[in-house]
């Protein structure tokens, strides 16, 4: 993965992606990407939830993998869903622990599970993608 600015897919499912350093500051960059794309797609009502989800997914990648880079992707696999994904080169599967009430850490995937309609991960030969899907409200 190389560093670049956000790119829109030219064919297929509508999506944007950006490669960024695997460091805590990338969560802010990922939130900006999510906010911009949701504005373009006119689904701003998902912004608060989506930015929290991407923050947790990026945070997990930064905290639990030795990767130098990660890729954030936001897509619309179907018109009524938004999919947020973070890809890294670590083969370590995500593990949702039961958070202890007093713990300052360990709530990332628990929050993703509570905020998203569904989440999961896909293993690749070279790493994994952790994703979460949000339902676009019908009006």
Instruction: Name the architecture of domain 7-135.
Output: 2-Layer Sandwich (3.30)
Q: Where are the domains of the chain?
A: 7-135
Looking at the predicted structure, is the pLDDT value of residue 2 above 60? no
Residue 23 CA neighbour count, 13 Å, CB half: 4
The answer to whether the Cα torsion of 95, 114, 27, 135 is positive or negative is positive
3-17, 47-61, 93-107, 111-125: the lowest-pLDDT one: 93-107
Work out the pLDDT band at 96, boundaries 50, 70, 90: confident
The mean predicted confidence, pLDDT, of the chain is 88
Cα separation, 14 vs 58, in Å, equals 21
């Amino acid at each position: 993965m190389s560093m670049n600015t956000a790119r829109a897919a030219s064919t297929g499912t509508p999506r944007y992606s950006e490669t960024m350093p695997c460091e805590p500051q990338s969560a802010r960059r990922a939130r900006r990407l999510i906010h911009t794309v949701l504005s373009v797609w006119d689904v701003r009502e998902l912004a608060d939830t989506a930015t929290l989800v991407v923050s947790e997914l990026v945070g997990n990648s930064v905290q639990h993998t030795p990767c130098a880079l990660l890729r954030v992707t936001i897509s619309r696999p179907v018109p009524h869903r938004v999919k947020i994904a973070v890809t890294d080169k670590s083969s370590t599967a995500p593990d949702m622990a039961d958070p202890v009430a007093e713990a300052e850490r360990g709530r990332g995937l628990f929050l993703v599970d509570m905020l998203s309609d569904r989440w999961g991960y896909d293993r690749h030969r070279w790493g994994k993608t952790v994703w979460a899907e949000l339902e676009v409200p019908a009006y």
